Structure 1
């Protein structure tokens, strides 16, 4: 494997984020890739930069990104970059802070390096497989919560009477997962088919911080799959994961059928 380090990946992610923050709260070209899925010219600018710089860092790795047309070429690679150039585009175009640049390096289906660069929040999240997770250079860890009722979830519109507790909800799913990694939330769950680039880096950060990381049905996440998708994520403090799987099981099974 070429000489690839977490520090070097973080440098590239930081350079990409600088390009994004220069345009944040400024003039943007915005359109919809599909209904309710906005994109800006900055998403493409950052993606082009990352594709070039990451390819130079590891020329043998494939590339999977929200803003690059996917091809089957990555499937023959043992390593692949999994990138979301701006995760949380809605917050980016609304001049809010809940967005980040997400970069993961996947090897044999699992993330080995992950970086979230969130310059509008002054945050850099990093993890390496077996090396722990940090925010701004300081080690992070999940909460020790053992009861699902009262668990904190980044969610803006909890149903009245819910036994969960709403906390800040950045638009970026990666940053919401990072909140669990840092013990600032106890649970993140999605019940829809989602893309690997949304969670590649954040899943490693969470697992290295001690979280239990699965899809919405409780199965392990696997990356660089043919469809580059998984049915949801369920990322929790370890003490509540089984209870969360059980609570979500019926709806998750129903919604996962295509």
Structure 2
């Protein structure tokens, strides 16, 4: 039996563990690179271990897919699977910025049925259950209802190129938090056009959908989870009325990235 309150308690404790190592609170965790440009620190590993033990105790029948754990194909034979990024937004974490979150989703039959983002540096807990809506700190979320792409707000680091009709808003490093910004109405659109992993986006995809946003890959196709290859090419989250226009806007960048063989994470 799934106990959402128990899972939320685990997620929030994981956030506290990470917060206790966060440089923004004066700590100095050991950090290194798994690959060039792909940072990791001891908080990632500590939170991953805590979550695997704690979530495994709550639902021992569920499979496991995490950024910090070697993947095992046995997860494909389970009816349920945890999709976990222990610290999504590690670059912000190690820099002492608040744009990171613990991301936890539970998937069944290829779809998330529960999603939680614990962002303690921001004082936020985001929760969604399939068919039951989404909340942030207990307050119901309603996604952006923008009807035109012109002037749409998108998290980005700099102003878009000339001719691109988007308005930049603050961009946390966590892709999950950027997706959640559409769920909360703080952004109208989030788009990436390179390979990303299921653990990055599963929880936030459910949060956005339950708030009323549309979510797809960068081609406009539905996302699926707990696949043998746990990747998706890009993610597109938007107000429903602008989703197709947004897909068309990113189509050239998507095609260019595919031609170039881009395999970087989203």
Q: TM-score, normalised by structure 1?
A: 0.97
Q: CA deviation at 1:184?
A: 0.4
Cα separation, 2, equivalents of 1:131 and 1:63: 24
In structure 2, what is the Cα distance between the partners aligned to 1:141 and 1:174? Answer: 17
Is the contact between residue 104 and residue 113 of structure 1 (CA under 8 Å) also seen in structure 2? Answer: yes
Task: Provide Cα deviations, 1:126-172, integer angstroms capped at 9, x if missing partner.
Answer: 00000000000000111210110100000012334332100010110
- CA drift at 1:227: 1.1
How far apart are 1:251 and its partner, in Å?
Answer: 2.8
Is the CA contact (8 Å cut-off) linking 2:191 and 2:250 kept in structure 1?
no
Contact 1:102–1:117 (Cα < 8 Å) also in 2: yes
Task: Report the 3-state secondary structure (helix = DSSP H, G, I; strand = E; otherwise coil) of the residue aligned with 2:251.
Answer: helix
Residue 248 of structure 1: aligned partner: 250
- Partner SS state of residue 159, structure 2: coil
The 1-side partners of 2:84 and 2:111 are apart by 14
Partner of 1:185: 187
**Contact 2:103-2:176 at 8 Å conserved across structures:** yes
Structure 1 stretches lacking a partner, 5+ long: none
Runs of 5+ in structure 2 lacking a partner?
262-266
Contact 1:116–1:202 under 8 Å retained in 2: yes
| Local SS of the residue matching 1:70 | coil
How many pairs align? 256
- Point out the more displaced range, 21-30 or 214-223: 21-30
Deviation of 1:208 after TM superposition, in Å, equals: 0.1
Could you tell me whether the CA contact under 8 Å between 2:100 and 2:177 is conserved in 1?
Answer: yes
SS of the residue corresponding to residue 143 of structure 2 reads: coil
Counterparts in 2 of 1:138-177, with a 5 A limit?
138-161=139-162, 162-177=164-179
Matches within 5 A, 1:198-237: 198-237=200-239
d(CA) in 1 for partners of 2:186, 2:167: 12
Equivalent residue number for residue 62 of structure 1: 63
TM-score when scaled to structure 2? Answer: 0.94
Equivalent in the alignment of 1:48: 49
CA contact (8 A) 1:6 1:114 kept: no
Residue 73 of structure 2 corresponds to which residue in structure 1? 72
Pick the aligned partner of 1:16 from 14, 20, 34: 14
Distance in 2, matches of 1:159 and 1:212, equals 22
Equivalent-residue separation in structure 2 for 1:56 and 1:256 (angstroms):
41
Structure-to-structure mapping, 1:53-132, within 5 angstroms: 53-132=54-133
